[in-house]
Amino acid sequence: MVKPTYNLPESDSSDDAAITHWLERLADHYPADELHLIAAACAVLTRYRGNRQIETGETHVRHVLSTADILVRLRMDSETLIAALLNGCLDQGDLRESELVNGFGAGIVRMVGDLARIGQIANVDAIIADKDQLEHEENLRRLLLGIAEDVRVVLVVLAERVHLMRAIKDLEPGRRTKIARDTQRIYAPLANRLGIWQVKWELEDLSLRYLQPDEYRRIASLLSERREEREQYIAAVMAMLRDKFAEAGIAAEITGRPKHLFSIWKKMRRKAVAIEEIFDLRAVRILVQTVADCYAALGLIHGLWKHIPKEFDDYIATPKNNFYQSLHTAVVGPEDKPLEVQIRTHDMHRHAEFGVAAHWAYKESKGHDAEFQRRVVWMRNWLELKNEGDDASGFLARFKSEFEPVHIYVLTPQSKVVELPKGATPLDFAYAIHSEIGNCCRGARVNGRIVPLNYTLSSGEKVEILTQKHAAPSRDWLSPHQGYLITARARNRVRQWFKQRDFDQHLQDGRSALERELGRLGIPDKPHLDDLAPKFNYRRGEDLLVAIGCGDLAVGQVARQVGEPRIEAPKEPELRIRPPQKHRNNPLASLKAGSGDVVVEGVGDLMTQMAQCCKPVPFDDIVGFVTRGRGVTVHRRNCGNLRHLPPAEAERLINVRWANQPNHAIYPVDLLVVATDRKGLLRDVSSVFSDEDVDVTGVNTHSEKSTDSANMRFTVEIRDMTQLERLMTKLQQIPDVLEVRRAG
Ligand code: AMP
Ligand code: MG
């Protein structure tokens, strides 16, 4: 295939002469303005890399010139050639990127940058330990596609590989083997996946030659014919078939190839057969319009040459499992040499090449993910279009965003490839390596330069994380605006870290808050935390303390579950709210609860008054207390003041009940609302009161800093129990309200 466009002058002639000669040859292939730029690239090349030698013993100039020449043979555009020529020139001497951009455009310079990064990786992969080899190779393959935003970069890399393989004959054997193995495992499969067969076969044959020289020689001698002879044979067959199909009036596209050495060697081993039993050593393929044409073509072929019966397969009538369709036959061709003929429609061919049946998909049984496949298909489509001379750049623009890689591939200092989503930062990288490295991350170096931790990584960059022993994550890392982390894994790790740390802190805070509160309320009982926890829907006592510590739970609420308060909470400074004006005019407001509402048993109509401490409302469970001279005070039966009456006083208690029809009086009630403090809380509470048309005559609020909770005491005017209950339910429903109860 890729023969040089001409024979490069012997190495004793100067690089300049080689360049001049090469440029002259290009005149037929590229328009004048492009030739001008190619020549300019050559000038940069000699100026900045003129005297370099590479490991094969060639000058750098010869190396890139040969690479560019292979690209010419692959019919690549001038931009690709220029990128290949400038490869290695970036940041050489006083040449700056901006200069190159001015001279050649940003697109080409980006390709040159990609090439530099790939070159760097390709060279360091030598130090990978054997056990990581397979994973590394797969990653490197992805990396090559991942770095190259532009498929043309991959083409340059492959062309360079072809030239390198041609040039390593005299290298030290160990190094040569290493290069050949990489070629066989990474570059040839890549060429295969991209469908660049001319590159693939040469890479495979040359690898075999260096990795298994005896086998290579054995197969070569079995073949008796040299490659050129076999190529000429195929060319002659194709020319003849083109005539025959034209005569028969069947539109057909005919291709062909001699089977390459590596493929022969593999097939002989796989099928354990002699070379005589391989019928596709020489092969042609005929693409036609319709299925009917397929069979017509088959008839034509079988009419021309005697066919070998057991070599006929009709995969059109019986497709393969992967839906591959084609007619396969083998005939005794010209000079009595076996010839394989494949016949299929263009549709079947497209499916075979790009669909699920794509060649590489069943020839390489290794796993591959959807994104990678998509990208390969995209690149192959692009290459196809280019060959057909369509508007490939339009296609590129149209599909670029759709098929843009969603992953990047970066390297550890040991050159292990790490896959990250696009946009990932050094911090994401650190967490991808190990969460401890993430937690202790203090800085990062990318390609040797210190970068901020929210720097956006690109494929091919080498990342080194700087850690500090007792460093800890920062809350900022979780802020989406600051762009420190884009991977869910890393964010989770950071959250986890804080959770663990906060747990310890909250546990301590919760414990001391509860102790303080118990002391303040004079509750002597020792809390049984594990028994208490389920009452608040927590599993263990520790969780309960953490809930108190982080403010999820009001400490007062828990304390009261532990035991009875002995001491009234100290009075808080008062905040008086005036009742709304309209209630001032409410005739009911002046009619205070009192006589007539309550019947004192066995006594009749005694003067009664509602106790100020517990403020009973019809039809609370009530009890009367006979005062000295002020009649009977009506208390709620569970009023705290009555509970510890000395025996002498207890005798003054008397049964009372509500009158059947109480006056339409209003009763003052004290309500206690405990809530997690927040902005707008009081406003929400007030709006419930006004919705319920309830007057508020007194307010006491008190925030507890340690638990972030608000204790609010309201004195409200209530008409009856129904209204009170509805009011309490509504208050309970306000977000962050933990507890609503009547005081007293
Ligand atoms: P193989 O050696 O059979 O693995 O094929 C190597 C390359 O030759 C691939 O690009 C195939 O698509 C191509 N090829 C295989 N068979 C034929 C054929 N009958 N005619 C033309 N090309 C073929
Ligand atoms: Mg075959």
Which atom of ligand 1 has the smallest separation from the CA of 260? 2
Ligand 1 pocket mutation pick from 223, 257, 294 by most atoms within 8 angstroms of CB = 257
Phi then psi for residue 698, to 5 deg, are: -155, 145
Which residues, 6+ apart, have CB-to-CB distance to 268 below 8 Å?
219, 274, 275, 278
Specify the residue with its C-alpha closest to ligand 1, atom 4. Answer: 263
Q: How far is the CA of 285 from the centre of ligand 1 (A)?
A: 8
Q: How far is the CA of 357 from the centre of ligand 2 (A)?
A: 14
Ligand 1 pocket mutation pick from 280, 282, 362 by most atoms within 8 angstroms of CB = 280
- CA 51 from chain centre, in angstroms, equals 45
- What sections of 168-317 are H helices per DSSP? 173-182, 188-194, 197-211, 213-223, 227-248, 261-271, 291-304
Q: How far is the CA of 8 from the centre of ligand 2 (A)?
A: 35
Residue-by-residue DSSP string for 428-441: HHHHHH-HHHHHTE
Report the Cα–Cα distance between both ends of the chain, in Å, rounded.
100
In the prediction, which pLDDT does 432 show?
Answer: 94
Q: Are 636 and 616 in contact (CB under 8 A)?
A: yes
For the chain, the average pLDDT equals 82
Q: How far is the CA of 257 from the centre of ligand 1 (A)?
A: 7
pTM for this structure?
0.60
Which atom of ligand 1 has the smallest separation from the CA of 201? 6
In the prediction, which pLDDT does 127 show?
Answer: 45
CB of residue 205 inside a 6 A radius of ligand 1? no
Going by pLDDT thresholds of 50, 70 and 90, the confidence category of residue 439 is very high
Tens digit of pLDDT for each residue in 126-161?
A: 444 555 666 666 666 767 767 666 778 889 999 999
Going by pLDDT thresholds of 50, 70 and 90, the confidence category of residue 262 is very high
Neighbours of 703 (CB within 10 A): 14
CB of residue 283 inside a 6 A radius of ligand 1? yes
CB of residue 280 inside a 6 A radius of ligand 1? yes
In the prediction, which pLDDT does 363 show?
Answer: 43
- Average pLDDT of 33-39? 95
- Average pLDDT of 429-443? 94
Specify the residue with its C-alpha closest to ligand 1, atom 7. Answer: 197
In the prediction, which pLDDT does 366 show?
Answer: 46
Tens digit of pLDDT for each residue in 529-583?
A: 898 898 888 889 999 998 888 777 888 888 888 887 765 544 433 333 333 333 3
Whole-number percent of the chain with pLDDT over 90: 36
Residue 363: HSE in the Cβ half-sphere, 13 Å Cα cutoff: 14
- Residue 276, pLDDT > 80, answer yes
Ligand 1 pocket mutation pick from 231, 285, 363 by most atoms within 8 angstroms of CB = 285
Which of these ranges, 32-36, 45-49, 125-129, 219-223, has the smallest mean pLDDT? 125-129
Specify the residue with its C-alpha closest to ligand 1, atom 6. Answer: 259
Which atom of ligand 1 has the smallest separation from the CA of 359? 12
Q: How far is the CA of 380 from the centre of ligand 2 (A)?
A: 20
Tens digit of pLDDT for each residue in 282-307?
A: 999 999 999 999 999 999 999 999 99
Q: Are 711 and 704 in contact (CB under 8 A)?
A: yes
CB of residue 256 inside a 6 A radius of ligand 1? yes
**All domains in the chain, ordered by first residue:** 13-211 (1.10.3210.10), 227-366 (3.30.460.10), 407-499 (3.10.20.30), 503-563 (no CATH), 574-658 (no CATH), 667-742 (3.30.70.260)
Burial class (CB in 10 A: 0-12, 13-18, 19+), 239: exposed
Cis bond before residue 498 (omega within 30° of 0): no
- Average pLDDT of 316-341? 93
Q: Which residue has the tokens 């905040």?
A: 575
Could you say which ligand is closest to the alpha carbon of residue 358? 1
Q: How far is the CA of 284 from the centre of ligand 1 (A)?
A: 8
The sheet carrying 695-704 orders its strands as: 695-704, 709-718, 667-676, 737-742
Which residues fall inside 5 Å of ion ligand 2, going by CB?
Answer: 280
The CA distance from 527 to 535, in Å, is 13
Is pLDDT larger for residue 265 or for residue 354?
265
Q: How far is the CA of 289 from the centre of ligand 1 (A)?
A: 20
- Residue 97, pLDDT > 50, answer yes
Specify the residue with its C-alpha closest to ligand 1, atom 15. Answer: 283
Going by pLDDT thresholds of 50, 70 and 90, the confidence category of residue 1 is very low
Q: How far is the CA of 194 from the centre of ligand 2 (A)?
A: 18
Specify the residue with its C-alpha closest to ligand 1, atom 13. Answer: 257
In the prediction, which pLDDT does 123 show?
Answer: 64
C-alpha dist (Å) from residue 413 to 125, 401, 637? 11, 31, 78
Could you say which ligand is closest to the alpha carbon of residue 204? 1
The CA distance from 62 to 353, in Å, is 35
Whole-number percent of the chain with pLDDT over 70: 82
Q: How far is the CA of 337 from the centre of ligand 1 (A)?
A: 17
